[in-house]
């Protein structure tokens, strides 16, 4: 195989347990596995967690009906909540596969015949969700349809990850609680409240209620430096998250290149000494960002090799002049640990001006994921 991923089921389960330890005993963990489990492989991750986490504490969260159906067809029986929009034409399918729905318009409730819904509250993120009045109207309509069970009330924070100043989040939590109270006063008993993603799960027990939506942390990654710093200062302390993914390829060719030779498309970079250049058969269509042209590094024989020139669609070139003994089909690590060194998603993200979420979520779903 030219390029593949190795996923540690042990580390995935470890991270889930780190999260569970911070929760009250009745609070459940919704493992967010959208975007192919942040690139880690949705069914592999679901299997790993189903095997190691008590069934009565585990939910799954997906973005779409398609993802939810794929989990059901794979045999997952835990509750599954669709976090994103469900088109009206897909509602019957969602019912058939027992998917809980995130709901924020009356049209959905009008069309839905049977199923469980969670109303999404707008509390300041200005994304999916409705204010208190519309939430009441949705609850009212749902209460007149015997097939519909209003089981959840949720919201999502705008600004926990990017700051150590959490006053905005506190304000959103206050709005959430006040809308929840209003619904309760109007006679709607909604058993499940949920607001926390990874950062809030780690930092603020007040946001847990009876379910947390834990995504990035499952994969051993931190939402941001600010989250990590805040967690050191928090009463609960810092969870020991372990990265679960290694992205590998192999040396496909080794060539001697004279000083001054240009490397790859566009002649954007030349070697400044007689060099040994290696072809690595993985590129931007596999999810390795083209923005890492001339700036990325990979690991070969435990040492760093710099990406030379442009990253191509399915290959790239790296400089191994300073690494001795490189052989055809030696393992190349693009992301993760090899020997004493590790290339993290945070490092690659910083180099191309994005976040670790995007680096892992864009690894092509076509690549093989192997568990280790
Ligand atoms: C993706 C997502 C999450 C998970 O966020 P993390 O920061 O990865 O934990 C939680 N809630 C909703 C609504 C999401 O869309």
SS3 of 6-17: the string is EECHHHHHHHHH
Instruction: Report d(CA 15, CA 175) in Å as an integer.
Output: 30
Per-position pLDDT tens, the chain of length 372: 999 999 999 999 999 999 999 999 999 999 999 999 999 999 999 999 999 999 999 999 999 999 999 999 999 999 999 999 999 999 999 999 999 999 999 999 999 999 999 999 999 999 999 999 999 999 999 999 999 999 999 999 999 998 989 999 999 999 999 999 999 999 999 999 999 999 999 999 999 999 999 999 999 999 999 999 999 988 888 999 999 999 999 999 999 999 999 999 999 999 999 999 999 999 999 999 999 999 999 999 999 999 999 999 999 999 999 999 999 999 999 999 999 999 999 999 999 999 999 999 999 999 999 998
**pTM for this predicted structure:** 0.97
Whether ligand 1 lies within 6 angstroms of the CB of 37 is answered as: no
**Residue 206 Cα to ligand 1 middle (Å):** 17
Instruction: Report how far Cα 271 is from the mean position of its chain's Cα atoms.
Output: 38
Tokens of residue 119, six digits: 């109303």
Q: Which atom of ligand 1 is nearest to the CA of 223?
A: 7
- CB neighbour list of residue 1: distance below 8 Å, 6 or more residues apart: 368
β-strands 3-7, 192-194: how paired?
unpaired
CA distances in angstroms from 189 to 109, 142, 151, 175, 308, listed in the order given: 17, 12, 8, 18, 60
Task: Say if ligand 1 is within 6 A of residue 311 CB.
Answer: no
Å from CA of 157 to ligand 1 middle: 10
Cite the active site residues: 34, 265
Pocket test for ligand 1, best of 22, 35, 40, 61 (most atoms within 8 A of CB): 61
Contact (CB, 8 A) for 100 and 117: yes
Ligand 1 centroid–CA 85 distance in Å is 14
């Amino acid at each position: 195989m030219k390029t593949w991923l190795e996923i540690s089921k042990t580390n995935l389960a470890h991270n889930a347990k780190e999260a569970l330890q911070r929760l009250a005993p009745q609070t459940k963990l919704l493992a967010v596995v959208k975007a192919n489990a942040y690139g880690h492989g949705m069914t592999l991750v679901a299997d790993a967690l189903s095997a190691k986490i008590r069934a009565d504490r585990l939910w799954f969260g997906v973005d779409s009906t398609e993802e939810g159906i794929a989990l059901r067809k794979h045999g997952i029986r835990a509750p599954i909540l669709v976090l994103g929009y469900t088109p009206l034409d897909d509602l019957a399918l969602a019912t058939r596969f027992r998917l809980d729905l995130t709901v924020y318009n009356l049209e959905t409730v009008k069309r839905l015949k049977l199923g469980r819904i969670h109303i999404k509250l707008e509390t300041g993120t200005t994304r999916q969700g409705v204010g208190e009045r519309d939430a009441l109207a949705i609850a009212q309509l749902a209460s007149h349809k015997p097939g519909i069970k209003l089981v959840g009330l949720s919201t999502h924070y705008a600004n926990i990850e990017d700051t150590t100043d959490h006053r905005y989040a506190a304000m959103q939590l206050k709005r959430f609680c006040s809308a929840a109270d209003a619904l309760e006063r109007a006679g709607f008993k909604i058993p499940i409240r949920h607001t926390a993603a990874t950062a809030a799960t780690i930092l603020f027990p007040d946001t847990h209620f009876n379910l947390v939506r834990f995504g990035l942390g499952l994969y051993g990654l931190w939402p941001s430096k600010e989250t990590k710093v805040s967690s050191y200062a928090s009463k609960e302390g810092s969870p020991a998250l372990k990265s679960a993914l290694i992205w590998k390829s192999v040396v496909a060719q080794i060539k001697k290149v004279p000083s001054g030779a240009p490397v790859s498309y566009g002649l954007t970079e030349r070697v400044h000494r007689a060099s040994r250049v290696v072809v690595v058969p993985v590129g931007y269509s596999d999810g390795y960002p083209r923005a890492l042209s001339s700036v990325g590094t990979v690991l070969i024989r435990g040492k760093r090799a710099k990406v030379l020139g442009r990253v191509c669609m399915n290959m790239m070139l790296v400089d191994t002049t300073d690494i001795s003994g490189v052989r055809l089909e030696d393992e190349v690590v693009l992301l993760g640990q090899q020997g004493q060194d590790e290339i993290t998603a945070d490092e690659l993200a910083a180099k191309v001006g994005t976040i670790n979420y995007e680096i892992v979520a864009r690894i092509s779903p076509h690549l093989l994921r192997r568990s280790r």
